[in-house]
């Protein structure tokens, strides 16, 4: 009911703004025709500009929903701000229509006057309409509602109950633990005390909201059955943080409601395309311009100090744990021990020039070839050896989240100084924590920031680079 009332209020609000624009346009047309201040030809098609008016109103639909369900009425300053945004959106729409149609039948002054007058008119409507609609929808008799839950009630539940009051549903009763008092609600007892007698004592009771923190609690099942027997409307709000953790999100896919444990920005195909385009552009430049002379220098140094293969190849886990072969300039003597052993400070396996390219991260440059092949990204969580992946997954449960995206040549953890040898569980936990932050908060600005910081670390390598 509350959702339907909000939808109805939103539709009435948008409709009122649109009708006011129609009336204003008609009034201006009449005034101009009578006074002769500005002439409009008979061919002036004002109706086409109403499409721009509606497009501008619809473009700001999220702002309309916010002020309609907010417990605090829009302040005058906010009304002026929204009115101004609406006028600007209408102005842009008018300009596009005017120049696309090459419309000479209508005066530009007419459109300018419309925008000038619509600004204060829209501001007054934005300030007044929510008040009127709230009174209109609250004329019906107030209905009582009960909040049921064990444990602390979070602020989001209290805010929801407050919003419901503006739709004629008054959450004034509470079944819960004594120590978890909710301000403004009368406690009727614990969840175990909930029965037909206590519920019947509530006047005009219409619905019960369950805040569930434990899906296996039998008290919730008994209380739900009781509500169905009494013909009460039931709503259930899950404590997603307690049940699933911090990363859980609610997703609506058509008619299907899903709870997902991660919905990171790179799940969006457009974001993946944008990141891939940048990866290709950067990698092509490096592979064609930087890599050839660098390869020649490394090859000459290897011939002198440590003959053997130019590149070091090793299997790594990438996106969705799919295995790929990573490329590096070889920085250690060929056939000098287990490849699964991490490099350490003063490692005897590293030849002199290899130590230099490792410290400056120049040994990573062949990985731009991996980026072109699609195995890696320029920026992302650094890939570890497969044997280390298995070990780290046992130490830190969230480690596998790193495989939601492609591994990178550099990453958010690396610019924070988290690179080099892993000597304790805390080292890997810190890296994973930064990698998860990057995955959950990815955007192009963050990639640009990581890239700039990486360039600085090339010039001033940290002590952990060896």
Taking residues 346-355, report their average pLDDT.
Answer: 82
- Res 71: pLDDT: 43
- Res 79: pLDDT: 64
Please classify residue 267 by burial: count the beta carbons closer than 10 Å to its beta carbon, then call 0-12 exposed, 13-18 middle and 19+ buried.
Answer: middle
Does the pLDDT value for residue 409 go beyond 80?
A: yes
Q: Beta-carbon neighbour count of residue 266 at 10 Å?
A: 19
Residue of higher predicted confidence among 240 and 443: 443
Does the pLDDT value for residue 2 go beyond 70?
A: no
Q: Where does 306-424 have alpha helices with state H? A: 352-359, 367-373, 386-395, 412-415
Tokens linked to 398: 């969230």
Nearest Cα residue to 87 out of 64, 63, 121: 121
- Res 41: pLDDT: 47
Pairing mode of beta strands 169-175, 186-189: parallel
CB environment 161-192: b (16+ within 10 A), e (fewer) = bebbbbbbbbbbbbbbeeeeebeebebbeebe
Predicted model pTM: 0.56
Q: List the end-to-end C-alpha distance of the chain, in Å, as a whole number.
A: 64
- Name the range with the highest mean pLDDT among 15-24, 73-82, 292-301: 292-301
- Res 132: pLDDT: 65
Lowest pLDDT segment from 14-23, 32-41, 394-403 = 32-41
Taking residues 201-225, report their average pLDDT.
Answer: 81
- Res 405: pLDDT: 93
Tokens linked to 286: 């490096």
- Res 4: pLDDT: 45
Q: Where does 209-318 have alpha helices with state H? A: 218-229, 240-244, 269-285, 291-305
- Name the range with the highest mean pLDDT among 29-43, 92-106, 372-386: 372-386
Residue-wise pLDDT tens digits, 23-57:
766 666 666 666 655 555 445 566 666 676 666 66
Nearest Cα residue to 171 out of 183, 185, 157, 153: 185
Q: Do 15 and 65 contact (CB within 8 A), yes or no?
A: no
- Name the range with the highest mean pLDDT among 1-10, 27-36, 161-170, 426-435: 426-435
- Res 386: pLDDT: 86
Residue of higher predicted confidence among 382 and 171: 382
What domains lie within the chain, and their CATH numbers? 2-137 (no CATH), 143-261 (3.40.50), 269-459 (no CATH)
Contacts 24+ apart (CB under 8 A), 76-85: 76/127, 79/123, 79/124, 79/126, 79/127, 80/123, 82/122, 82/123, 82/126, 83/119, 83/120, 83/122, 83/123, 83/126, 84/119, 84/123, 85/60
- Res 278: pLDDT: 96
Does the pLDDT value for residue 445 go beyond 90?
A: yes
Does the pLDDT value for residue 465 go beyond 60?
A: no
Residue-wise pLDDT tens digits, 221-237:
888 888 888 888 888 88
Taking residues 329-342, report their average pLDDT.
Answer: 71
Could you tell me where the beta strands, DSSP code E, fall in 96-201? 143-149, 169-175, 186-189
Residue of higher predicted confidence among 111 and 205: 205
Lowest pLDDT segment from 36-40, 124-128, 368-372, 376-380 = 36-40
SS3 332: strand
Q: Give me the percent of the chain exceeding a pLDDT of 90.
A: 22
Taking residues 245-266, report their average pLDDT.
Answer: 70
Does the pLDDT value for residue 80 go beyond 50?
A: yes
Residue of higher predicted confidence among 288 and 74: 288
Does the pLDDT value for residue 1 go beyond 50?
A: no
């Amino acid at each position: 009911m509350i959702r339907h009332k909000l939808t109805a209020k939103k539709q009435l609000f948008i409709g009122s703004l649109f009708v006011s624009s129609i009336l204003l346009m008609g009034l201006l047309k009449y005034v101009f025709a009578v006074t002769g201040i500005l002439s409009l030809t008979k061919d002036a098609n004002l109706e086409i500009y109403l499409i721009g008016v509606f497009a501008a109103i619809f473009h700001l639909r999220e702002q309309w929903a916010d002020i309609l369900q907010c417990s605090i009425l829009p302040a005058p300053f906010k009304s002026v701000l929204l009115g101004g945004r609406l006028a600007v959106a209408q102005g842009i729409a008018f300009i596009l229509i005017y120049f696309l149609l090459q419309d000479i039948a209508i005066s530009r002054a007419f459109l300018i006057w419309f925008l000038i007058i619509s600004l204060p008119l829209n501001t007054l409507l934005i300030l007044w309409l929510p008040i009127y609609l709230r009174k209109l929808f609250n004329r019906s008799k107030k209905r009582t509602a009960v909040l049921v839950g064990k444990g602390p009630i979070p602020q989001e539940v209290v805010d929801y109950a407050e919003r419901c009051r503006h739709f004629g549903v008054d959450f004034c009763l509470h079944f819960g633990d004594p120590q978890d008092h909710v301000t403004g609600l009368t406690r009727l007892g614990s969840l175990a005390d909930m029965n037909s007698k206590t519920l019947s004592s509530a006047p005009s009771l219409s619905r019960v909201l369950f805040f569930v923190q434990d899906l296996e609690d039998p008290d919730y099942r008994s209380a739900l059955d009781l509500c169905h027997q009494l013909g009460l409307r039931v709503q259930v709000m899950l404590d997603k943080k307690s049940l699933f953790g911090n990363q859980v999100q609610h997703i609506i896919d058509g008619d299907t409601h899903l709870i997902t444990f991660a919905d990171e920005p790179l799940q969006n195909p457009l974001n993946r395309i944008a990141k891939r385009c940048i990866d290709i552009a950067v990698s092509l430049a490096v592979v064609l311009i930087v890599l050839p002379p660098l390869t020649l220098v490394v090859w000459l140094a290897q011939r002198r100090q440590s003959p053997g293969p130019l590149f070091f190849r090793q299997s790594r886990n990438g996106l969705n744990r799919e295995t790929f072969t990573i490329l590096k300039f070889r920085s250690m003597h060929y056939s000098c021990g287990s490849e699964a052993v991490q490099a350490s400070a003063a490692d005897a396996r590293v030849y002199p020039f290899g130590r230099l390219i490792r410290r400056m991260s120049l040994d990573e440059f062949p990985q731009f070839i991996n980026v072109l092949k699609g195995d890696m990204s320029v920026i992302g969580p650094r890939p570890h050896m497969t044997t280390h992946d298995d070990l780290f997954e046992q130490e830190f449960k969230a480690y596998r989240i790193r495989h939601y995206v492609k591994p990178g040549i550099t990453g958010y953890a690396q610019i924070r100084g988290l690179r080099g040898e892993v000597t304790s569980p805390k080292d890997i936990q810190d890296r994973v924590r930064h990698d998860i932050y990057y995955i959950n908060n990815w955007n192009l600005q963050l990639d640009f920031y990581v890239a700039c910081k990486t360039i600085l670390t090339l010039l001033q390598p940290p002590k952990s680079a060896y």
